[in-house]
Chain A
Amino acid sequence: MYSQGLIGADGSTTETPEFLDTFQKRIDAEQKIEPTDAMPEGYRRTLVRQIGQHAHSEIVGMLPEGNWITRAPSLRRKAALLAKVQDEGGHGLYLYSAAETLGVSREQMTEELHSGKAKYSSIFNYPTLTWADIGIIGWLVDGAAIMNQIPLCRCSFGPYARAMIRVCKEESFHQRQGYEIVMTLAQGTPEQKAMAQDALNRWWWPSIMMFGPHDADSQHSDQSMAWKIKRFTNDELRQKFIDATVPQAEYLDLTIPDPDLKWNEAKQGYDHGPIDWDEFWRVVKGHGPMARDRIKDRKAAWDNGAWVREAALTHAEKRRARKMAAE
């Protein structure tokens, strides 16, 4: 689904000024950095962390939506939701592969997710309470993901940029599909419309928090911008998202739960009310309503599957041995 503004990257690096200068010139010339190229340790570390967080977000993101597959209210919606959740798993797979080119294994990353060392997008620590949440997540959360990820298609690190091109196509399909679910509800019975409004009320603020802290409070942004891992600041992306989303809500006759939201003619964009950063940090630090359940579920899947993975390895080993013996 989505990478949130990177949390806690350490871009510090120890290379010589000449090396860093040559590297920066390549970046400035918009050359793609490939896995076998020399790169500053800070660049590598930032990417491992960012791609890892992004991959984990795709995987954990399967859970809140997976929560509604068995209850989807039509066979068409059930199939579409299954396909969407499957896409998210596919995004996780490409992203783990992109991170692996930097020398970390999927297993290592998985362990870090389970131990709480690695982060994932905190949006998935909120619960999906009604069917409308599935529409709202597609519309807002996949929508926010697209805002964040389209610039990543031009990220200086080649494997990440290429993975994003494929991922973004699917995310925009998810976004349209989500909006279409919400539209059906908004134009449905009064109960359905109320369900859509309630879901919008719950997901709006967490969605705009997905872009991360305000630029003034975001220490790690500058180095990522210079390395062209990041192309726009958190606030720029948040503004784009709000400006794109407000007219979509108006079209549906749904109310965005921000009384201070209003058009600013001078800046040609919407002003919004204050974001509850206490809530943001609380959820980022692992105290979101579903944080414990998400990790518990991921660990349970992993632990309950241990015997399957072990059997697959053992079987492959037996095959190899039999083949060798036969030769």
Chain B
Amino acid sequence: MAVFEAILELADDHLVLGHRISEWCGHAPMLEEDLAMPNMALDLIGTARTLYDRAAMLEGKGRSEDDMAYLRGEREYRNCLLVERPNEDFAHTMLRSLYFAAFMRPFWLATLEMTTDETVRGVAGKAEKEMAYHIRHAGEWVIRLGDGTEESARRMRDAVAALHIYTGELFESSPAATEAEAEGVLPVRADMRAAWEDVIGQVFAEALLEAPEVPYPQTGGRKGLHGEGLGHLLAEMQSVYRAHPGATW
């Protein structure tokens, strides 16, 4: 059961972030980003789908990926708080993706080395490359904005101040994740710290940004203790599915 929950946590991270990025569709600052953002959203949602499917199989109650995504409420979602943060502006959106991808890339690389779960290995092989692209794309934007105009630099600093407090949670393993780690399914989250800091350090140096001290990190997502925004995200996402119980789409 613990492995099932640990995979669900990962799936929720990917779906919620993919959903957030998809909110930009048609509203991006330039046409090139109207093409790039759906790409990133599609990568994340694709990963979420495979992971939900795997979680449902491990659970063995005959639930589908859509049951997982559409029939759980905000107290049952297990995503980390970072991914549910609202888009705010393009600076926040790119920084949020950089923070997440800079964690997931080493996580998937480590997974490839150790996992005993073939489905998870398959996901890791594909997602590792996608996360490298997300680091590049989002990282380049963080640099351009951080070392751009006065306004963009201010917005970038605001984004760091707003989002850095959520990054600590990425390195924490819930009891379920700890078990999955002990069983050799997933790598130890805390072990990604050095690789993450390396990427963020390089990008921030070029972006003229500083990582702040975080005396009070914000956590709680793995226990289903979310911000108020997630309930609205889910209400919107699940509205049609829940209005027609049992229907096929």
CB closest chain-B residue, reference A305: B29
A310 closest partner in B (C-beta): B149
| CA–CA, A315 and B33, complex, Å | 17
Q: Does A297 contact B (CB under 8 A)?
A: yes
**Contact (Cβ within 8 A) B19 A70:** yes
Give CA–CA (A62, B249) in the complex, Å: 22
Q: How far is the CB of B56 from chain A (nearest CB, A)?
A: 12
Is the CB of A191 closer than 8 A to any CB of chain B?
A: yes
- Asked whether any CB of chain A lies closer than 8 Å to the CB of B145, the reply is yes
Segment touching A, from B41-49, B77-85, B174-182: B41-49
Residues of A contacting B27 with CB < 8 Å? Answer: 66, 297, 300-301, 304
State whether the Cβ of B17 lies closer than 8 Å to any Cβ in chain A. no
Say whether A244 faces chain B, with CB atoms less than 8 Å apart.
Answer: no
Known: A184-B249, A192-B244, A192-B247. A78 touches B148 (CB 8 A): no
B236 and A79 form a contact (CB under 8 A): no
A134–chain B nearest beta-carbon distance, Å:
10
- Of the candidate stretches A81-89, A232-240, A266-274, A278-286, the one touching chain B is A81-89
Give residues of chain A (176-206) contacting chain B, Cβ–Cβ below 8 Å: 181, 184, 188-189, 191-192
Q: Are B152 and A308 in contact (CB under 8 A)?
A: yes
State the CA gap A93–B41 with chains docked (Å): 20
- Count residues on chain B whose CB falls below 8 Å from chain A CBs: 49
The residue on A at minimum CB distance from B49 is A75
Q: Which residues of A sit under 8 angstroms from B246, Cβ to Cβ?
A: 189
Restricting to A17-75, which residues have a CB under 8 Å from any CB of B? 59, 62-63, 66, 69-75
A82 touches B22 (CB 8 A): yes
Contact with A along B38-77 (1 / 0, CB 8 A): 1101100110110010000000000001100110000000
Task: Tell whether, in the assembled complex, residue B26 and residue A85 are in contact, meaning their CB atoms are under 8 Å apart.
Answer: yes
Q: How far is the CA of A184 from the CA of B249 in the complex (A)?
A: 6
- B228-249: which have CB < 8 Å to A? 236-237, 239-241, 244, 246-249
CB distance from A54 to the nearest CB of B (A): 14
Tell whether B205 is near chain A: CB-to-CB under 8 Å: no
A120 to chain B, nearest CB (A): 13
The residues in A between 249 and 280 inclusive whose CB is less than 8 angstroms from any CB of B are none
**Docked CA distance A79–B47 (Å):** 11
Decide yes or no whether A105 CB sits under 8 A from chain B: no
Q: Contact between A315 and B35 (Cβ–Cβ < 8 Å)?
A: no
User: Cα distance A69–B34 when bound, in Å?
Assistant: 14
B26 interface neighbour in A63, A192, A307, Cβ under 8 Å: A63
Q: What residues of chain A lie closer than 8 Å to B241, measured between beta carbons?
A: 73-74
Does B38 lie within 8 Å of A307, measured CB to CB? no
Chain A interface size, under 10 / 10 to 19 / 20 to 34 / 35 or more: 35 or more
Most buried by B among A188, A297, A301: A301
CB contact between B147 and one of A306, A310, A318 (< 8 Å): that residue: A318
Tell me the bound Cα distance from A189 to B246 in angstroms.
9
A90 at the interface (CB under 8 A from B): yes
Contact of A12 with B by CB under 8 A:
no
Decide: A93 and B35 in contact? CB cutoff 8 A.
yes
Please give the distance in Å from A273's CB to the nearest CB on chain B.
33
* CB of A144 to closest CB in B, whole Å: 21
Q: Tell me the nearest residue of chain A to B236, going by C-beta.
A: A70
Cβ–Cβ < 8 Å partners of A306 in chain B: 29
Judge whether A225 is part of the interface by a CB distance below 8 angstroms.
Answer: no
Contact B240 A71 (CB under 8 A): yes
CB <8 Å contact, B145 and A66: no
Residues of A within 8 A of B34 (CB): 62, 86, 89
Q: Are B48 and A75 in contact (CB under 8 A)?
A: yes
Determine if A308 and B145 form an interchain contact, defined as CB atoms under 8 angstroms apart.
yes
CB of A194, distance to nearest CB on chain B (Å)? 11
Residue of B nearest to A83 (CB): B42
Given the known interface contacts A69-B22, A70-B19, A82-B42, the answer about A311 and B31 at a Cβ–Cβ threshold of 8 Å is no
The 6 sampled A-B contact pairs (Cβ below 8 Å) are A86-B35, A89-B34, A92-B31, A304-B27, A308-B152, A310-B151
Residues of B within 8 A of A (CB): 15, 19, 22-23, 25-35, 38-39, 41-42, 45-46, 48-49, 52, 65-66, 69-70, 89-90, 143-145, 147-149, 151-152, 155, 236-237, 239-241, 244, 246-249
User: Given contacts A89-B26, A297-B27, could you give 10 more A-B pairs where the C-beta distance is less than 8 Å?
Assistant: A66-B26, A75-B66, A82-B42, A86-B25, A86-B42, A93-B31, A304-B89, A305-B28, A308-B152, A312-B148
The 10 closest A-B pairs by CB, nearest first: A305-B29, A311-B148, A311-B152, A86-B38, A308-B29, A66-B26, A62-B26, A73-B240, A315-B144, A73-B249
